Amino acid sequence: MSNKIKSYKLSPQLRSELNFSHKKNSTSFNFNRSSFSPNLENLPWKGILAVVGVFVAITLGYLGIKKGYEYTAKKNDERTAQQLAAYNNRIENIKQEVASSSANAFSLVTSSQGYLKNKDVERAEAAAELAVTKDPKWRDAFVNLGQVYLATNKFDKAKTAFSSALKIDPLSGQAHYLMSLAEQELKNTESAKAEFAKAKQFGFQTDIGG
């Protein structure tokens, strides 16, 4: 058995007391469009455009400077690489020239001393370096190489050359003396004094070819 749903309606008197009205339930809202949209005419356009212009100018200037710097750096690197390649080619040609003009270590040592007197540093080094490869057991070839390096302010290389000479002949006074000069240039004061003391003990040998 189904129960019939009853419909309840407010009596006219109750409706009047509750002041019930469909019209009063409807809410009206006036939307003022002008209150939500800015007045573009009142914006400081000149100031805004000035700021934007400055920003654009700074950005373009920075990009221009950066690009110019990168271009200059690239050109400098290319120029340096070309100069290094040219230098290496020249040194290689000098080595070949020196090698073809001297057949043995003794003649190469003699040639290197002659080049050094004429201030031809590149040929002096090439001849001295080639001499020790020709005869790696000859003490004075290394002494000569160290002398050439000393003359060209390559003190670390000079020290290495004199060390090689002293391995072959620890009693070489000339090698100890020249080693003391290299140590002095390298600011190794105590080592310079010790090497000079050994040079005095063994005596200075100045002749090449001993």
Domain segments of the chain: what residues? Answer: 50-96, 104-202
Name which residue leads in pLDDT, 115 or 102: 115
Mean pLDDT of 120-126: 95
pLDDT per residue over 47-106, tens digit each? 888 888 888 889 888 888 988 888 888 888 888 888 888 878 888 888 888 888 877 999
Rounded to two decimals, the pTM is 0.61
Nearest to 164 by CA among 140, 186, 148: 140
Give the residue among 123, 143, 124, 122 at the shortest CA–CA distance from 132: 143
Q: What is the pLDDT of residues 17-55, one digit of tens each?
A: 666 555 455 455 555 555 555 566 667 777 888 888 888
- pLDDT at residue 49 in the model: 84
User: Which range (56-70, 122-136, 186-200) has the least confidence?
Assistant: 56-70
Distance CA 4, CA 6 (A): 6
Whether 146 shows a pLDDT value over 90: the answer reads yes
Q: Summarize pLDDT for 148-164 with one digit per residue, the tens.
A: 999 999 999 999 999 99
Tell whether the model's pLDDT for residue 179 goes beyond 70: yes
Q: Give me the pLDDT at residue 110, please.
A: 94
**Residue partners of 163: CB distance under 8 A and separation at least 6:** 179
Residues 152-177, mean pLDDT to the nearest whole number: 96
Q: What is the pLDDT of residue 127?
A: 96
Q: What CATH homologous superfamily does 104-202 map to? A: Tetratricopeptide repeat domain (1.25.40.10)
- Under the banding of pLDDT at 50, 70 and 90, the label for residue 209 is very low
Tokens 């419909």 correspond to 7
Q: What does the alpha-carbon distance between residue 143 and residue 162 come to, in Å, rounded to a whole number?
A: 6
